[in-house]
Amino acid sequence: MEASEKIKELIRGWEGLRLTAYRCPAGALTIGYGHTGPDVFPGQRISPGFAETLLEEDIARFEAELDRWGMIDRLPELTQPQYDALLSFAYNVGTSALRRSTLWRRVCADPSDPSIPAEFRRWVHAGGKVMPGLVKRREREAQIYEHGKYD
């Protein structure tokens, strides 16, 4: 499965575009639309076009990781909104954190489990603090997962 254009647009908005490297609230060097990794260095500057390239590459990597872990863990078939919500979540917290989570275990057991939206809402901390932006993002991801509501 691939990310929808709707979720890509939401990820752009949630991450925001920063053309100069900065430290996110969790302390990771970040640039573009939330891109992190060993290729990001202090003082780095990029163009808007390169930020878009990084976003597309990052989304493709997260899609591949979700697909891989889904096959290994025998993830049942998901709807597009369910997939999109999990992809957005993984883009923000990483696939390792997703795979260790109760959220992932519940999705693998039964994607229609009514407790799943509440699991999204638990992930609102960065740097030990509740982040209002994460509260809003997790609520939207929960709504997308449960009801397919992108707006």
DSSP string, the chain: ----HHHHHHHHHHH--EEEEEE-TTS-EEEETTEESTT--TT-B--HHHHHHHHHHHHHHHHHHHHHHHHHTTPPP--HHHHHHHHHHHHHH-HHHHHHSHHHHHHHH-TT-TTHHHHHHT--EETTEE-HHHHHHHHHHHHHHHH----
The active-site residue, picked from 15, 52, 56, 65, is 15
Known catalytic residue: 2?
no
Which residues are catalytic, by number? 15
